[in-house]
Amino acid sequence: MPKMRAVQVSRAGGPLEMVEREIPAPGPGQVRVRVEANGICHSDVLTKEGLWPGIQYPRVPGHEIAGVVDAVGEGVAPWKPGDRVGIGWHGGHCGYCDSCRRGDFLFCKVRPLISGIDADGGYEDYVVAPAVALARIPEALSAVEAAPLMDAGVTTFMALRHSGARPGDLVAVLGVGGLGHLGVQWASKLGFDTVAIARGADKEPFVRKLGARVYIDSEAQDPAAELTRLGGARAILATATSGAAMTQVLGGLGVGGRLMVVGAPLDPLQVSALLLIGGNRSIAGWASGRPIDSEETLAFAVRTGVRSMNEPFPLDRAAEAYDRMMSGKARFRVVLTMGA
């Protein structure tokens, strides 16, 4: 049997280790994808540290996959070998539960499949996935460009599109890291009056280049007061991994404003009920997207020039690449490449 490289975690908290495995064959309804690139996401910590309930080991992490269909199982029309495809957090669903019948595939109640958690993900040369998890990658995007858009990109893009804000509205992006640097670009290209909030004066020229009209340095200014002075935000995309930072901006929501939470801090948000009531304000979460949402994200990126800024690492340096992501110093997404 031909072999491939896979980077697996063999126990909760264990190291990322390169192993040789047999190249898997796709079953009915599945395809095999030759992985070209895989973005490393902070949520890979769930696999690495065993934080997801019921996760089984060994497991290959990775849910920002870009590659080429390499083999198809039975019943996977219209996919064929050679198709360029991406796979994100959504790695499959049952198709018949109430959530699926409403199109909420991510919240499937019967057989939700999360790439890199319930099934092996993209830290390997070949991945097998249900055909329903595939999104088409347009020609204009390279695999390295497409991979981080399969989770970081689709999450931030869809959260903004579901924030209730309309073109011209004041929209703030809290945090300018892996998620936020995409959030600022989407917000600007969607026609929002875009504000970026981060720590430190040094980020200002960069966020303006990404499309922000206003930069708020939360170390020197009170973001809630500044947003209020600007008229109040219709939406704030909260990408920071700090509940305290999210709490700090809530007062900057305008009437009808909504905090869209996509970052996952460990500390809680604290909110005054009066703040919510006295202005019809709300707090909402947003989880990733369906394959069709990913396709729309990629298409919008092609049309508008939005790109993730990436630090590529070859697969055999996956452990180093993961540490780089965890350090918080990456500018801005770390992407594994498999080589030809």
- Decide if 155 contacts 286 (C-beta within 8 A): yes
Would you report the helix, strand and coil content of the chain in percent, each value rounded to 5? 30, 30, 40
- Of the two residues 65 and 224, which places its CB atom closer to Zn ion in the complex? 65
| DSSP assignment string, 173-235 | EE--STTHHHHHHHHHHTT-EEEEEESSGGGHHHHHHHT-SEEEETTTS-HHHHHHHTT-EEE
> What binding mask, one character per residue, do residues 141-180 give for Zn ion by CB under 5 A, x or -?
----------x-----------------------------
Residue 268: DSSP 8-state: P
**Taking CB under 5 A as the criterion, which residues in 76-105 touch Zn ion?**
93-94, 97, 100
Taking the complex as a whole, the smallest distance from the CB of residue 69 to Zn ion amounts, in Å, to: 22
Number of residues that bind Zn ion (CB under 5 A): 9
Q: Any contact of residue 287 with Zn ion (CB under 5 A)?
A: no
Q: Which of 25, 51, 110, 264 binds Zn ion (CB under 5 A)?
A: 110
| Shortest reach from residue 119's CB to Zn ion, in Å | 15
Q: What is the contact mask toward Zn ion in residues 28 to 57, using x (rule: CB under 5 A)?
A: -------------x-x--------------
Residue 10: Cβ within 10 Å count: 12
DSSP β-bridge partners for residue 128: 32
CB 40 within 8 A of CB 16: no
Closest approach of Zn ion to the CB of residue 201, in Å: 30
The least CB distance from residue 281 to Zn ion, in Å, is: 27
Residues that bind Zn ion (CB under 5 A): 41, 43, 93-94, 97, 100, 108, 110, 151
